[in-house]
Amino acid sequence: MHDHAPHNLPPATGIHPLIARLESAFHYPRLGSAHDVTEFLARPGPHCLFIPGDPRRNLETADAAVILPELRLAFQNAFDCAVIDDAIEAALREEYRALKTPGLLFFRGPAYLGAIEKVRDWSDYLARTGHLLSLETA
C-alpha cells in the first residue's frame, strides 16, 4: 500500500473558513489593533469579542466559530460580536486574564464582564452568557 499524499504541502495560510464565515456571512468585524477594540467597545450595549486561537493547533476553534452565532441567536441578538485578529490576540488575552482559547470575552460598553474559555456544553454557554449579560457595571 502506498501513501499518495504529497509530503511537501505548504504551511496553512489565511483564515480558517469558519472564522472567515463570521466576517463574511455574519458581518462580525475583525479587530486588528487596540484602537479597533477601543472603538468597538465604545458603542453602547453588550459585546462579545471572539478570540479564536490557532485553528491549526486547537481543533476547538472551529467549533467555537460555529457556536458563537448560535449563541447570539439564542439571546435574540442581545450582544454584538467581533473577531480578534491574531496580531493582538495574545495581548488581549493577557490584559483580561482569559488565557485559554477559544475564548468569548463579554463587555457592556467598555466594561469587562467576564469570559467563557474553551468549548463548553450548550447548557453551560447559555447559563454563563445569561449570567454575564445580567451583570451590572459601575
**pLDDT at residue 10, as a whole number:** 34
Q: Which helix (H) or strand (E) holds 49?
A: strand 46-51
Residue ranges of the chain with per-residue pLDDT less than 70: 1-13, 138
Q: Which helix (H) or strand (E) holds 74?
A: helix 60-74
**pLDDT at residue 24, as a whole number:** 96
pLDDT by residue (tens digit) across 64-73? 999 999 999 9
**pLDDT at residue 1, as a whole number:** 43
- In the chain the domains, ranked by start, together with CATH numbers, are 17-134 (3.40.30.10)
Residue 20, number of CB atoms within 10 A of its CB:
14
**pLDDT at residue 14, as a whole number:** 73
Torsion angle defined by CA atoms of residues 120, 40, 83 and 22, in that order, rounded to the nearest 10 degrees: 100
pLDDT by residue (tens digit) across 34-53? 999 999 999 999 999 999 99
